[in-house]
């Protein structure tokens, strides 16, 4: 028994780690095209008898472990059984590892498979849809209204990214751009011995198709013939192999799936390229060139000699050697202008490659299509979503303790400039409210914003605010019924800057707001509504799937991450007109009226009539939560940080 277990450990753990097995059977190609071990069967001699052992590989994204099943066969019959079993097992391992992937998947036949369309109405109770090779499970409360879900084969115009082996058809799931309130499970049938797989998702977006943008999501788990994923949004998904690796810590019992060092992506921007040096062992194959975090212009990178083969150090001379852009553990934006007449506006395409995801861009390598093209890659801005069943410590208000539960990661927003127009300073007729001086504000709100890295500035001067506003990414406006607008063009200037696109705006108001306050007039200008009134508050809101009831807030919105209890404010105003469809309710006060609202990104036009993406907006009708005496109330600091992170335009997780 001891000898056979030693042999098995040697085969399944030590040899893959050292690379000796694979180098023995396939040294030339650095194992990239090696197939992975299939189901292993052998016998072990036990005191109680001979046992048939079956090892079934279970693949993670870049690692592998085995599920073990045992079946008693017969009583012991001598040493011969274990010796033969160990030899057979070793030979079978070598045989499996020597198989080449292209022999298993010679073409894209999976893309050609027929898919019978299926359509089903799903209510808030959830449901399950199945078509050939795909099962979709929608949990309760993932949708709030009856929703028609349709699964069919994607049109031929949707093509997989280059250098990826599809293992399923590309499906189309409608309605497009639907974001579910909870995680939806997608289970795909995949061929046995498929190896490490990912879910490739492309949104129904002209810009995504033009740039050949695909997001690659790691599986929740994989069995011998199924891959299961958790997602919140999708349009065109399929499962496929990708021949790149990433450095990941291995858990006990896992064997690494080998990738050579020159084919490992690292956080930030990575170029997939072909080395044309005759002496390079990777000739006719590809390498990964990690570039990290910064702003990059690919053609300039080549001209300045910044791109070198990680295997042979050859300097790339030809921009066309770049095959693909790969982003990993990074958020950012691609900015480009097409080479056309008349000169078109600069287009921006944000990306989010976090929580182990990749984002691929293929068309970005066609340099002759662009008059300008750049990539800004920054460290991932979002904290990982809390794991279900995780155990953590709570504060006195019931909220998890620790900045890792915030929406945004500490220090990740150093690129975001935040301008705060604090036009209510605590003064009112006949007195002064303590706890809202500029010093108090900076000592509470400012400290929280600094944790995330925001470059923030607060001013109580209108002229200074308007002068600097165009240079900032996000703006807050805090106003009340005492300090009214002085500059007659204030509202128009704010609206014009917001219309320029990609600008976040947080509008704060409180009780008894009146005409000519900054927030009221900006709301009137942009949406044709105002806020006013005075509802008593001082209570806590709780998370809910909908905000139909008083004292609830949307638990599935990004702003709610890590919040189980949220203070509504002392005195609260509310909308004076019916809300337009673009304004959604995030929170409802103890009086049953909307007290926190939001507007998501949406298409619009700038002051010249050019198409732009209008930024996000948050409207809060209870700024008393920002006072020094209220700052430690339930969830306030986290809510302020989450809202500002969201307003910065950080991508939402699909």
What pLDDT, on the 0 to 100 scale, is given for residue 267?
A: 92
Find tokens 């993932």 and name the residue.
142
Half-sphere exposure of 28 (CA within 13 A, CB side): 5
DSSP 619-632: EES-GGGGSTTTTT
Question: 10-residue block means of pLDDT along the chain (654 residues)?
Answer: 40 32 28 39 49 50 44 45 31 31 46 85 92 92 89 90 88 89 91 85 90 91 90 91 62 48 87 84 78 91 89 85 90 88 84 88 74 90 68 88 93 94 73 72 96 96 96 96 90 96 94 89 96 95 94 94 95 96 97 97 88 94 93 96 95 68
CB neighbours of residue 623 within 10 Å: 26
* Nearest-angstrom CA–CA distance, 485 and 516: 6
CATH architecture of 260-379: Sandwich (2.60)
Coil, strand, or helix at residue 89? helix
What pLDDT, on the 0 to 100 scale, is given for residue 387?
A: 56
Domain boundaries, the chain: 2-101, 110-242, 260-379, 406-647
What pLDDT, on the 0 to 100 scale, is given for residue 443?
A: 94
Sheet with 40-46, edge to edge strand ranges: 40-46, 49-59, 63-74, 255-256
User: Would you give the DSSP letter of residue 581?
Assistant: T
Q: CATH number for the 406-647 domain, one of 3.50.50.60, 1.20.120.550, 2.60.120.10, 3.40.50.880?
A: 3.40.50.880
Taking alpha carbons only, the member of 198, 199, 148, 200 closest to residue 176 is 148
DSSP 237-302: EEEEEE--B---PPPTT-EE----GGGB--SEEEEEE----TT-TTTTS-EEEEEESEEE-HHHHH
The DSSP bridge pattern shows strands 294-296 and 347-361 to be unpaired
Enumerate the β-bridge partners of residue 59: 64
What pLDDT, on the 0 to 100 scale, is given for residue 347?
A: 86
What pLDDT, on the 0 to 100 scale, is given for residue 93?
A: 33
Q: Is 406-647 in the same CATH topology as 110-242?
A: no
What pLDDT, on the 0 to 100 scale, is given for residue 405?
A: 93
Tell me the CATH number for domain 110-242.
2.60.220.30
Taking alpha carbons only, the member of 295, 307, 360, 301 closest to residue 332 is 295
């Amino acid at each position: 028994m001891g000898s056979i277990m030693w042999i098995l450990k040697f085969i399944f753990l030590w040899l893959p780690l050292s690379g000796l097995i694979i180098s023995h059977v396939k040294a030339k190609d650095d194992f990239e095209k090696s197939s992975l071990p299939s189901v292993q069967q052998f016998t072990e001699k036990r005191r109680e008898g001979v046992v048939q052992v079956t090892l079934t590989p279970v693949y993670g994204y870049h690692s592998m472990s085995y599920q073990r099943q045992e079946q008693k066969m017969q009583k012991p019959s001598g040493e011969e059984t274990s010796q033969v079993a160990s030899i057979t097992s070793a030979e079978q391992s070598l045989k499996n590892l020597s198989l080449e992937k292209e022999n298993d998947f010679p073409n894209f036949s999976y893309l050609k498979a027929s898919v019978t369309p299926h359509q089903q109405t799903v209510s808030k109770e959830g449901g399950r849809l199945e078509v050939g090779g795909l099962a979709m499970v929608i949990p309760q409360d993932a949708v709030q209204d009856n929703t028609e879900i349709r699964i069919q084969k994607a049109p031929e115009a949707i093509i997989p990214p280059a250098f990826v082996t599809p293992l399923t058809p590309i499906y189309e799931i409608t309605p497009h751009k639907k974001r579910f309130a909870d995680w939806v499970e997608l289970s795909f049938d995949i061929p046995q011995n498929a190896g490490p797989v990912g879910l490739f998702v492309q949104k129904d977006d002209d810009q995504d198709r033009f740039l050949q943008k695909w997001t690659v999501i790691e599986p929740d788990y994989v069995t011998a013939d199924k891959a299961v994923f958790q997602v919140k949004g999708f349009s065109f998904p399929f499962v496929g192999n990708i021949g790149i690796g990433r450095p990941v810590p291995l858990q006990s019992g896992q064997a690494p799936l080998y990738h050579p060092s020159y084919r490992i992506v690292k956080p930030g921007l990575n170029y997939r390229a072909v080395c044309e040096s005759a002496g390079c062992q990777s000739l006719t194959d590809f390498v990964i060139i990690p570039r990290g975090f910064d702003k990059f212009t690919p053609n300039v990178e080549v001209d300045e000699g910044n791109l070198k083969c990680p295997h042979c150090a050859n300097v790339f001379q030809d921009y066309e050697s770049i095959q693909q852009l790969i982003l990993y553990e990074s958020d950012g934006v691609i900015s480009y202008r097409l080479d056309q007449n008349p000169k078109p506006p600069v287009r921006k395409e944000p990306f989010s490659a976090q929580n182990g995801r990749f984002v691929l861009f293929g068309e970005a390598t066609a340099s002759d299509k662009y008059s300008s093209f750049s990539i800004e890659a920054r460290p991932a801005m979002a904290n990982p979503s809390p794991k279900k069943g995780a155990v953590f410590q709570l504060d006195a208000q019931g909220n998890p303790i620790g900045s890792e539960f915030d929406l945004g990661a500490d220090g990740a927003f150093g690129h975001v400039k935040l301008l705060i127009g604090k036009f209510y300073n605590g003064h009112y007729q006949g007195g002064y409210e303590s706890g809202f001086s500029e010093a108090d504000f900076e000592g509470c709100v400012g400290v929280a914003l600094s944790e995330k890295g925001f470059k923030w500035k607060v001013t109580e001067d209108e002229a200074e605010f308007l002068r600097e506003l165009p240079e900032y990414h996000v703006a807050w406006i805090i106003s009340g019924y005492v300090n009214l607008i002085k500059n007659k063009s204030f509202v128009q200037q704010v609206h014009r800057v917001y219309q320029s696109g990609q600008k976040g705006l947080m509008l704060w108001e409180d009780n008894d707001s009146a005409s000519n306050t900054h927030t009221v007039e900006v709301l009137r200008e942009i949406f044709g509504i105002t806020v006013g009134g005075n509802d008593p508050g001082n209570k806590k809101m709780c998370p809910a799937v909908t905000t139909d009831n008083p004292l609830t807030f949307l638990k599935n919105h990004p702003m709610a991450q890590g919040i189980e209890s949220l203070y509504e404010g002392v005195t609260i105003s509310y909308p004076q007109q019916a809300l337009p469809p673009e304004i959604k309710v995030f929170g409802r006060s103890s009086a049953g009226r909307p007290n926190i609202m939001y507007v998501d990104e949406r298409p619009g036009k700038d002051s010249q009539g050019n198409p732009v993406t209008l930024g996000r907006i948050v409207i809060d009708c209870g700024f008393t939560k920002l006072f020094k005496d209220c700052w430690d109330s339930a969830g306030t600091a986290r809510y302020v940080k989450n809202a500002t992170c969201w307003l910065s335009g950080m991508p939402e997780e699909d």
